[in-house]
Structure 1
Amino acid sequence: MKKPTVILVLTAALHLAAAANTPAPAGHAANTPVATAQSDTTAWPQADLSNGFLHARFYLPDARTGYYRSTRFDWSGVMPVLEYQGHTYFGQWFPQYDPTINDAIMGPVESFWPLGYDQAQPGGIFVQIGVGILTRPDTARYNQFRYYPIRYPGNWYVTRAPGAIEFRHDLATPGYSYIYIKNITLTPGKPQMVITHTLKNTGQNTIETDVFDHNFFVIDTQTVAPGRVLKLPFPITTEQPRGMGELADVRGDSIVILQPFAAKQSVYAIIHGYNDKADDYDFRLEEHRTGAAVRIRCDRPLARLAFWASVKTLCPEPFIHIKIAPGELFTWTLTYDFYTLTP
């Protein structure tokens, strides 16, 4: 058996000077995009995986040269490419790129609610799992769309084995410390991707947070239009709908697209109807114009579920709740099964 290969060891001390106390680029406090061309796709640390059915590419975490260096999403598992039977499932959905824009990111990426933000004073620190130790700049409430200066990015270790890649993030503070491991495996002999997570609390404080998977699907480079359907295993009701009824609508256990989106249009809703069992974390996203489809499952129950779509991406946004006492660990596994339909 071929031994795993360590393809990246990012030691925080080597990059601390570049990342510590870094101010947001001009305009980013208000999340103003910086128009930077995304032309050279070889410019960032990356790795490819294949199992003969699926081919995937990953941009690797790096505080100095990584593709994504903002503070909303976990830096591991950024996936600009996933291909199956001639179909593509991810890609650039946003109009402008800069490494510190909060959502200039691709793939089934995840975001945690921060630890210790409310207790921090202006100039003090808080923790974003999968990112590092951040600075609270003022008395404003936490805003997930805002860039926060990175005080210390922690240590990243990336190991590749045949058909698999593992990301490990180690972070230690006087209050919150953890070891976070994300292992992504392309299952041998089938069009399946499994993402297994382990979060161990190595600190003094209980870790309690929510994590959600944004699922930035860009299917076959198609814009979002009639023919794109999200199917759930329960009858859907919605709360706080925006654009529902005009751009998208609920049809029993499905959300269907009613018309093509204009450049700046989007739709959003909080979804209800699920139970407290893991079997309701089971979604199917189907693109009937091209025949590409995917099923997403988890071994943990939903804590919250949202739906968001814009002109190029349609995203089920499932949340799970995490509570870990010091010395304990929490695991969760996501399974993606890719399949095709007759267009």
Structure 2
Amino acid sequence: MKSLMLALAAPLLAVHIASGQCPTDAAPDAPRVTITNGKLTAVVHLPDPQRGYYRSNRFDWSGSIACATLNGHTFWGQWFSHYDPLGNDAITGPAEEFRSPDGAEPGYNEAAPGGLFVKLGVGVLRRLDEKPYSFGGKYPIVDSGTWTSTSNRNSVTSTQVVHSTIGFDYRYTKTVEIDRKANIIRLHHRLTNLGKRPIDSALYNHVFLQLDGKGPGPGTSVTLAFAPTVETPFPDSVSVEDRTIRFLGPPPNGRAVGSYLTGYTPGTPNAIEVIDTTTGFRVRQKTDAPIVKFYFWGHSRATCPEAYIAIHVAPGKTQRWTTEFALEAPAAASPAPR
């Protein structure tokens, strides 16, 4: 692996956010930065092949948020019970994964066992056997490329450059930015094809949204820009009414709620709204690229509407896209007078 280079204009964050609202991190020595607009604050994990919070082979290493705070409340956080930096999904949201439409990754189908393929946002991986690609597979990372990160008060940018021996080379840059005036977090992406072969994939955001450390339950609703048709029926604790998925109770004990959804068209806005009526939380999510596939996943600790977008970058070309999260949380209660 090539070494990580960091040029940080903001100091590394200690275990807690300044407000003291975020829980103790499972990996306090992992590199991270804190960004803020003075009201909304976010702690962003930094990619690092040796010390990074997440070092597995499924999700994009950049841009995951350890925790964000607003009005004394928290968004995101550790949703899983056991932390392992090499675990497939031991990552905080909003976690993004590049996953090709045909279920493979660039170079996988043509590689023999022991051969190489590319996972965008991770690096060059090794195929293990004759089985089809599995997003849950443990494929060895041969080269994670070179990661560089820079930051200022309200944004942090991480860039990965990967060169392979199979014609797939790229430069991938993601900036996590807090709007200076509004309580909005934006993820700006730029993928440049430096190789000789076209890069075809898709990307979705496995949001892993937590509100004050909690997942979906009574009062949680997820409203889409289309009326969804559910491929796998939800349990009785989840209803679908027009464009809204509504939780009448928590997900079944020990199981997640999940299904692919259809009903969108090429012109459907890529927009999602999550509301918790019991607390006053609201998250508006949107991406400036059309939906090509949609999966909904609700876990007892996380709410995850997953809209896929298409990735196609010809040699020498660049694709750009942005996802934003507009966050609302009720004002913290004033302390009782003495």
Is TM-score (shorter-chain normalized) higher than 0.5? yes
Is the partner of 2:232 in helix, strand or coil?
A: strand
Which string of whole-angstrom CA distances, capped at 9 and with x for unpartnered residues, describes residues 220-240 of structure 1? 122421111101122221113
Task: Give the drift of 1:192.
Answer: 0.7
Q: What amino acid is aligned across from residue 307 of structure 1 in structure 2? A: F
SS at match of 2:2: helix
Please state if 1:283 is matched with 2:272: yes
Change (3 A) 1:138 1:41: closer
**Residue in 2 that maps onto 1:135:** 126
Inter-partner Cα distance in structure 2 for 1:39 and 1:49 = 17
Alignment partners' CA distance in 1, 2:70 and 2:204: 25
Q: Deviations over 1:121-169 (max 9, x none)?
A: 1001100111111010111111101221111110000010220110100
Aligned AA for 1:260? P
Partner in structure 1 of residue 220 of structure 2:
228
1:44 Cα offset (Å): 0.7
Give the match's secondary structure for 1:88. strand
Deviation at 1:40, TM superposition (A): 5.2
2:183 pairs with 1:183: no
Partners of 2:151 and 2:203 in 1: CA distance: 25
AA aligned to 2:264 is Y
Q: After TM superposition, give the deviation of residue 263 of structure 1 in Å.
A: 4.1
Query: Within 2, Cα distance between the matches of 1:157 and 1:247?
Result: 45
Would the alpha carbon gap of residues 214 and 193 (structure 1) be closer, same or farther in structure 2, given more than 3 Å must change?
same
- SS class of match (2:58): coil
Instruction: Report the Cα offset of residue 89 of structure 1.
Output: 1.3
Question: What is the rounded CA distance, in whole Å, between the counterparts of 1:262 and 1:246 in structure 2?
Answer: 10
What residue in structure 2 maps to residue 149 of structure 1? Answer: 140
- Partner in structure 2 of residue 105 of structure 1: 91
Matched, 1:318 2:304: no
Partners of 2:265 and 2:72 lie apart in 1 by 36
Which segment is superposed worse, 318-327 or 39-48? 39-48
Q: Is the 8 A contact 1:100 1:147 kept in 2?
A: no
1:212 matched to which residue of 2? 204
Residue 326 of structure 2 is aligned with which of 293, 315, 337?
337
Looking at structure 2, the residues matched to 325 and 234 of structure 1 have their Cα atoms a distance apart, in angstroms, of: 31
Q: How many residues align?
A: 307
- Residue type matched to 1:154 in 2? G
Is it true that 1:238 corresponds to 2:230 in the alignment? yes
- What's the offset of the Cα at 1:39? 6.2
Task: Name the residue aligned to 2:21.
Answer: none
More helix per residue: 1 or 2?
1
Deviation of 1:54 (Å): 1.1
Structure 1 unpaired stretches of 5+: 1-11, 16-37
2:264 corresponds to: 274
Given that 2:65 and 2:92 are in contact with CA atoms closer than 8 Å, whether structure 1 keeps it comes out as: yes
What is the CA distance between 1:108 and its match in structure 2?
0.8
Name the SS of the counterpart of 1:280 in structure 2: coil
Q: Name the counterpart of 2:292.
A: 303
Task: Please report the TM-score for the alignment, with normalisation by the length of structure 2.
Answer: 0.87
Match of 2:282 among 293, 318, 340: 293
Q: Deviations over 1:242-291 (max 9, x none)?
A: xx0423121111001121235412111111121212x5201100111211
Identity %: 33
Q: Which amino acid aligns with 1:227?
A: G
| Contact 2:63–2:95 under 8 Å retained in 1 | yes
In 2, are the aligned partners of 1:83 and 1:89 still within 8 Å (CA)? yes
CA distance in 2, matches of 1:159, 1:72: 24
Match of 1:199 in 2: 191
Mapping for residues 49-128 of structure 1, pairs under 5 Å: 49-113=35-99, 114-128=105-119
Is the contact made by 1:53 and 1:190 (CA closer than 8 Å) also made in structure 2? no
Measured after TM superposition, the shift of residue 41 of structure 1 is 4.1
Give deviations 1:79-128, integer Å, cap 9, x for gaps: 11011122211011111111111110001111012211111110011001
1:83 is paired with a residue whose SS is strand
1:6 maps to none
C-alpha separation between the residues in 1 aligned to 2:134 and 2:255? 22
- The RMSD of aligned alpha carbons is 1.8
